[in-house]
Amino acid sequence: MDLQLSNEVAVVIGAASGLGKAISLEFAREGAKLVLVDIAPTVESVASEIQRAWKTPAWAFTADVTDYQAMQAVAAAVIFDWGRCDHVIVPAGIGSGKYGFPFWKLEPADWDRVLRVNLLGPVHAAHAFSPPMIAARQGTFLFFTSIAGQIGSQTDPPYSAAKAAVINFAQCAAKDLAPYNVRVNAISPGMIQTPLNRSVWQAWYDQQPEDQRQSYDEWAGEKARRVAPLGRWQTPQDIAAVAVFLASRRAENITGQTINVDGGQVMHA
């Protein structure tokens, strides 16, 4: 399907692995020019892979989404070099790295980095990239929440709370930017085999008695069958397909929405 994204500029923040890499590859398949941002230097290899496979421009920036000045510098470089920024996608995210059930197993200090990456990251991106989109009177933002942000998952309370706040911020930003034809949406993934998901298992595993421990594949497979009506994992490619659709003109009347790609785990009446 041609989504008419050819030659449009897409900035993916958190592009070095997992969802961010899959989304970057999908935008490249659609012919978009890519700006890949991550704190991991391996983001350079993703840019090289895109350039080899699709012959489309892909630039890599090593920057931290929690650093607002760094996000401003990336935005300025994009506009200086390409004169436009059409889409900003922010899949960067972390968990606390601890099993937070009950919540008092964590300390308040465990919340800080999680909130700065998962919530202030999208806020920084929105502040940095909104001015050129407002001036152009077009563009899209795509943030990432989680089913944990909709059901109050007890596994990692800082993560759940941050993702719930992203849903609300996306709605606020969507209302503010709608007069300028800039759309803002969020994707809420379910269970995906990414490094972040594996870290959730590891935190659980470390706290279990030896006779109750399960391997990652056992734990994840059992959970997917139990909580998802479709009974299967979601994949990074599932998320990437929705991401490019939401950026396209086929979604021109979709804004302020959180799209669940979760195998049916969360259903709203």
The residues carrying an active-site annotation are: 159
Residue whose tokens read 């030896």: 210
Of 202, 260, 210, 203, the C-alpha closest to 230 is 260
Contacts of 1 (CB under 8 A, 6+ apart): none
Contact 130, 118 (CB under 8 A): no
Contact 115, 132 (CB under 8 A): no
Read off the DSSP letter of residue 84: -
Longest pairwise C-alpha distance within the chain? 60
Contact 234, 263 (CB under 8 A): yes
Strand segments, DSSP code E, in the chain are 9-13, 33-38, 58-62, 87-90, 139-144, 182-189, 258-261
